Structure 1
Amino acid sequence: MTTPTDTSPEQLYRHSLRLLLEKDIPAWIALWAEDGVMEFPFAPPGWPDRLEGREAIAAYMRPYPDHIDLRDFPDLRIHRTTDPETLVVEMRGVGRVTGTGAPFDMTYIAVVSVRDGRFVSYRDYWNPLAVQAPGLDFAGSGAR
């Protein structure tokens, strides 16, 4: 991938997943527009529900690999919408919780919008009850 503008929204999203598996958070953050917004509509109390701007997203995501060792994104389904720059994504993230070694298996649905080859909006619909499961004690860490 040479520049983000050379890729489709689907290619950009798939590339972003590879970066997460490689734990290359700086490169993942570089895929975002400066004014990008990440939202968590089902965030539990004490967790952020909206991050505005690349820097806020970066601060949130930097510690992610310290808390979750992602190994795969099975069951990935990317759906195109009538807006060519918006995708709906269904997937699972699997791996281990680094502090406990407990299995991590989270199902996600995301609505993702891209402008000029960069993420501008990412609404992450994940299960907040999963962070209360035994072995998943990373609340407040900035990781999901």
Structure 2
Amino acid sequence: MSASTAPADLYRHGLRLLLDKDIPAWVDLWDENGIFEFPFAPEDWPKRLEGKAAVADYMRGYPDHIDLHDFPYVEIHQTTAPETIVVEMRGVGRLVDTDSPFDMSYIAVVTIKNGLITRYRDYWNPLAVQNTAADFAGSNR
């Protein structure tokens, strides 16, 4: 990806990397000072990660907890700020620990500057996967 890559294209590329379980390549889409926020994070979960290294540390074990199979619904909305998009999406797969289905709807507000993610606000419902979510958060605190 280059600095001129449109935010929507970079975001879609990132989803492909998550499906491929290529977490290092997904983290490479981040600016060194990028901010990853979880406004609805439960108690004892990180609400804000500051910097690419913190994002990498947090995401390292993601495929060990959630096995993503598809994003059957992705709608990307352009905002009046060309570098910011709002994404509505649904991710499906399975929870690794319990082998139970994973089906989560998300809203994300993502800002991309110079071809890198500088801010990502992830509005997801941790109650939908409470037990595995707790395990995932516990291993990433």
- TM-score, normalised via structure 2 length: 0.94
Partner of 1:118: 116
CA contact (8 A) 1:47 1:140 kept: no
Is residue 135 of structure 2 the alignment partner of residue 137 of structure 1? Answer: no
Q: Secondary structure at the match of 1:112?
A: strand
For 1:74-110, what per-residue CA distance to the aligned partner results, in whole angstroms no more than 9, with x for missing partners? 1110000000000000001100011111000010000
User: Counterpart of 1:118 in structure 2: which amino acid?
Assistant: L
Q: Give distance in 2, aligned partners of 1:115 and 1:6.
A: 9
Is residue 66 of structure 2 the alignment partner of residue 41 of structure 1? Answer: no
Question: Which structure 2 segments of 5+ residues have no match?
Answer: none
Q: Give distance in 2, aligned partners of 1:16 and 1:53.
A: 17
Q: Give distance in 1, aligned partners of 2:84 and 2:26.
A: 18
Say which of 12, 15, 22 aligns to 2:13. Answer: 15
Q: Give distance in 2, aligned partners of 1:100 and 1:140.
A: 11
Q: Give distance in 2, aligned partners of 1:82 and 1:72.
A: 29
CA contact (8 A) 1:4 1:12 kept: no
Partner of 2:70: 72
Runs of 4 or more above 4 Å deviation = none
Say which of 26, 29, 32 aligns to 1:28. Answer: 26
Say which of 54, 57, 63 aligns to 1:56. Answer: 54
Q: Give distance in 2, aligned partners of 1:17 and 1:92.
A: 11
CA shift for structure 1 position 140:
4.3
Q: Give distance in 1, aligned partners of 2:127 and 2:62.
A: 19
Q: Give distance in 2, aligned partners of 1:25 and 1:47.
A: 20
Percent identity of equivalent pairs: 63
User: Counterpart of 2:29 in structure 1: which amino acid?
Assistant: L
Question: Which structure 1 segments of 5+ residues have no match?
Answer: none
CA shift for structure 1 position 39:
0.2
For 1:10-65, what per-residue CA distance to the aligned partner results, in whole angstroms no more than 9, with x for missing partners? 00000000000000000000000000000000000111100000000000001000
RMSD of the alignment, in Å?
A: 1.5
